[in-house]
């Protein structure tokens, strides 16, 4: 059997497999009918009727876990959705990096500090970020905590949806006080006021079947990277993997003959593949054929994470190749992962300008290739962190340590996320025409 990539080296294999067997008896995190609902929405995306926003933490943690923090993550997605939907009249499909993003791939298996070498941090579901000999050992008991926190997150999400939290009528409740005095806050408030006025008119006039009618709410689906295959297989229900509504295979594990590609090729879930600059053009067709041999619409998402310097050279070739074979797939832009840098003070960061430049290139390329830009993928948070450089408040290198809270990759903060949403709305309306890239 092919070696399974990116798997932790569990010190006690017997304990690990015992815990996997235990998790198999736990309730599913999501259900096949919900997965089918997402597939139906993705078919609408393929027709150009809807647009995807996929976003959330780089890695969920056991520490940063509370109802307030989960709600703030949902609020920023809902705010972005409201901006784009109001501006473009496109319905939004929200897919969170949430309720399962507890395991991370790593470039190196070990980390060395001074004379001490320990296993790399692979997410709270595997080991601790603390650089401690005991805490860095992979511990399968953490999978149980990851499951329970994922289940609690799903329960809260379902409760919020059932109680109307994601309904457009609740848009005023999504406001964040910390945005009130910022330029973006004023701009966002204008949209809130306009939508609220529409809703008041609809209610008073008795109009029905309006775009912003009572039944108009934003669904929220979950997703995470499928890394630990034994854990994923514990959630199988026929051909559905019920650990999340959608799974993706990352750039480090998406080789044609990898066990990760073999696993997802048998799933009925929607599947995303991260496409980095090392992709071989011929491999992309082989991967697609393997995971979607029936060419089902809305089944496969290709998430481009090529980087600002590579996208204009690589993406047109990939699109042209897939168009030639008539492949039914959705093209998504992840302008985060290909643009990671190290700041002067040693922090892992991303420059906001490179993020928006790659995003603009993506829309321009899609337009030039006469395909639909189907969505975007971001690492973001509803908190006012200082992890990515630039943006409306011009975060600088010296500002990063004020609130650098990520355990892995730098995230957009709430204001940077809203700034991106306004840009996406403009790009969707104007298809990138007349929008100049930012220099830095």
- The CATH number of the domain where 24 resides is what? 3.20.20.70
Q: Is residue 191 part of a domain?
A: no
Q: Report the candidate in 384, 394, 372 with the shortest Cα–Cα distance to residue 417.
A: 384
* Tokens, residue 139: 């511990």
Say how many CA atoms lie within 13 Å of 360 toward its Cβ: 20
How do strand 110-113 and strand 116-119 relate by DSSP bridges?
antiparallel
**Residue 56: C-alpha distances to residues 97, 142, 153, 356 (Å):** 4, 21, 13, 18
Least confident of 5-14, 33-42, 189-198: 189-198
Q: Which domain does 418 fall in, by range?
A: 13-166+217-430
Tell me what pLDDT residue 434 has: 46
Q: Is residue 32 part of a domain?
A: yes
| Percent of residues, the chain, with pLDDT higher than 70 | 87
The set of residues, in sequence order, having a beta carbon less than 8 Å from that of 197 and lying 6+ positions away, is none
Q: Is residue 46 part of a domain?
A: yes
> Which secondary structure element, helix H or strand E, spans residue 340, and what is its range?
strand 340-342
Does pLDDT of 260 surpass 70?
yes
> Which secondary structure element, helix H or strand E, spans residue 374, and what is its range?
strand 373-379
Does pLDDT of 234 surpass 70?
yes
Enumerate the β-bridge partners of residue 92.
51
- CA 394, CA 241: separation in Å to the nearest integer? 42
Q: What is the DSSP string of 26-77?
A: SPPSS-HHHHHHHHHHHHHHHTTSEEEEEEE-SS--SSS--HHHHHHHHHHH
Does pLDDT of 195 surpass 70?
no
Q: Is residue 180 part of a domain?
A: no
Q: Is residue 128 part of a domain?
A: yes
Could you tell me the pLDDT band of residue 72, with boundaries at 50, 70 and 90?
A: confident
Longest dimension (CA), the chain: 73
**Residue 365: C-alpha distances to residues 50, 317, 361, 428 (Å):** 19, 10, 6, 13
Cβ atoms 349, 377 nearer than 8 A: no
Average pLDDT over residues 395-407: 89
Direct distance between the N- and C-terminal alpha carbons of the chain, in angstroms, rounded to an integer:
48
Does pLDDT of 209 surpass 60?
no
The sign of the CA dihedral 350, 356, 360, 362 is positive
Could you tell me the pLDDT band of residue 433, with boundaries at 50, 70 and 90?
A: very low
The set of residues, in sequence order, having a beta carbon less than 8 Å from that of 331 and lying 6+ positions away, is 301, 302, 304, 319, 362, 366, 371, 372, 373, 374
Contacts of 210-214 with CB under 8 Å at 24 or more apart are 211/89, 212/168, 214/167, 214/169
Per-residue pLDDT of 142-175, as tens digits, reads 999 999 999 999 999 999 888 777 776 666 666 6
Q: Is residue 437 part of a domain?
A: no
The set of residues, in sequence order, having a beta carbon less than 8 Å from that of 332 and lying 6+ positions away, is 52, 54, 272, 301, 302, 303, 304, 374, 375, 376, 377
Q: Helix, strand, coil shares of the chain as percentages rounded to 5?
A: 40, 15, 40
**Count of domains for the chain:** 1
Q: Is residue 113 part of a domain?
A: yes
Does pLDDT of 210 surpass 50?
no
The sign of the CA dihedral 134, 140, 144, 147 is positive
What residue ranges in 186-335 does DSSP mark as E strands? 220-225, 236-237, 240-241, 246-249, 271-275, 300-304, 330-333
- Identify the DSSP state of 272: E
Does pLDDT of 438 surpass 60?
no
- CA 175, CA 83: separation in Å to the nearest integer? 12
In the block, tokens 């150009």 appear at 48
Q: Report the candidate in 348, 259, 343, 361 with the shortest Cα–Cα distance to residue 307.
A: 361
- This prediction has a pTM of 0.90
Q: Is residue 179 part of a domain?
A: no
Q: What is the DSSP string of 67-116?
A: HHHHHHHHHHHHHHHHHHHHHH--EEEEEEE-SS------S-SEEEETTE
């Amino acid at each position: 059997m092919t070696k399974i990539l990116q798997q932790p080296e569990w010190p006690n294999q017997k304990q690990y497999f015992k815990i996997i067997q235990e998790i198999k008896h736990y309730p599913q995190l999501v259900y096949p009918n919900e997965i089918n609902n997402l597939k139906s929405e993705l078919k609408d995306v393929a027709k150009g009727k809807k647009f995807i926003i996929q976003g959330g933490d780089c890695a969920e943690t056991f520490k940063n876990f509370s109802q307030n923090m989960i709600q703030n993550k949902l609020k920023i997605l809902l705010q972005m959705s409201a901006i784009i939907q109001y501006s473009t009249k496109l319905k939004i499909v929200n897919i969170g990096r949430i309720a399962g993003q507890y395991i991370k791939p790593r470039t190196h298996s070990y980390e060395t500090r001074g004379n001490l070498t320990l296993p790399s941090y692979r997410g709270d579901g595997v080991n601790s970020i603390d650089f401690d000999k005991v805490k860095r050992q992979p511990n399968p008991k953490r999978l149980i905590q990851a499951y329970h926190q994922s289940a609690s997150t799903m329960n809260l999400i379902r409760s919020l949806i059932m109680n109307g939290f994601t309904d457009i009528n609740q848009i005023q409740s999504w406001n964040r006080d910390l945005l009130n005095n910022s330029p973006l806050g004023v701009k966002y408030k204008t949209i809130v006021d306009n939508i609220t006025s529409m809703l008041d008119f609809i209610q008073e006039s008795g109009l029905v079947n309006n775009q912003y009618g009572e039944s108009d709410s934003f669904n929220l689906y979950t997703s995470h990277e499928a890394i630990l295959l034994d854990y994923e297989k514990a959630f199988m229900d026929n051909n559905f993997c019920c650990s999340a509504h959608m799974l993706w295979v990352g750039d480090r594990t998406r080789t044609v003959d990898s066990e990760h590609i073999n696993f997802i090729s048998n799933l009925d879930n929607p599947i995303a593949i991260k496409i980095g600059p090392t992709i071989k053009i011929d491999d992309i067709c082989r991967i697609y054929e393997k995971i979607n041999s029936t060419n089902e619409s809305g089944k496969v998402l290709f998430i481009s994470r090529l980087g600002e310097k590579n996208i204009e050279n690589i993406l047109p070739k990939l699109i042209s190749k897939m168009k030639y074979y008539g492949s039914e797939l959705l093209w998504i832009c992840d302008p985060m992962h290909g643009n990671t840098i190290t700041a002067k003070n040693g922090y892992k960061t991303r420059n906001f300008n490179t993020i928006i430049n790659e995003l603009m290139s993506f829309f321009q390329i899609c337009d030039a290739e006469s395909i639909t830009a189907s969505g975007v993928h971001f690492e973001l948070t509803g908190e006012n962190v200082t992890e990515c450089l630039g943006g409306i408040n011009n975060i600088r290198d010296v500002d990063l340590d004020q609130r650098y809270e990520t355990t892995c990759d730098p995230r957009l903060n709430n204001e940077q996320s809203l700034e991106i949403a306004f840009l996406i709305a403009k790009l969707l309306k104007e298809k990138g025409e007349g929008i100049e890239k930012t220099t830095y």
